[in-house]
Amino acid sequence: MTNEEVQLLNDLVKVGLPIVGTILGGALGAVSTYFITKLNHINDRDKETTKKRLELVLQTANDVAEFEHLIGTYAFAVSNHVQGFEVSTSMEEARQAIVNRNQPLRRARMTLKILGLKDAEEHLEEYVELTREVISKGPNLKMPRVSELAKAITRGPVKFYSALACEFPAKQGSK
């Protein structure tokens, strides 16, 4: 090999390897940036989905609490009426409030079905079943039964709320 050929190969190695390294480094950087961006997008979407789910669960709990207040007021009025106590709340107004403002309960039931929270849905239906008896029979209930129903209704759907609590992540560091 001549001196010129050796010099040419030497220059080729000196100039060519950094260029090849730069091209390979750029390609590797582009591929890794693509995958990292894709993973970040997936994580952001999962966070947003989780956040929206928790918002819906909280809204469901608030809707049930609103219904719980309405039915509790009515059950209390019916219980006082049946027991012969002085009624501070109009029984008919409380009943009309339930009839006219039951949309939160319907919204809560719909949300539970959409979210697939079958356990919470079953516990809510147990509570609603108690309320149906008070609403349908009202002042015609007998003394022991009305007292029993009023206590259960005013206690609220505790099992339902406990089932919803499972949807929230446990606090870090607590046992």
Q: What share of the chain is helix, strand, coil (3-state, %, to 5)?
A: 85, 0, 15
Taking the alpha carbons of 145, 78, 96, 124 in that order, is the dihedral positive or negative?
A: negative
Confirm if 124 and 64 have CB atoms less than 8 A apart: yes
Its pTM stands at 0.75
**Nearest-CA neighbor of 161 among 98, 104, 112, 113?**
112
The tens place of each residue's pLDDT in the chain, 175 residues long, gives: 788 888 877 777 777 778 878 888 899 999 999 999 999 999 999 999 999 999 999 999 999 999 999 999 898 888 888 888 876 778 888 888 988 998 999 999 999 999 999 999 999 999 999 899 888 888 888 888 888 888 899 889 999 999 999 888 775 444 4
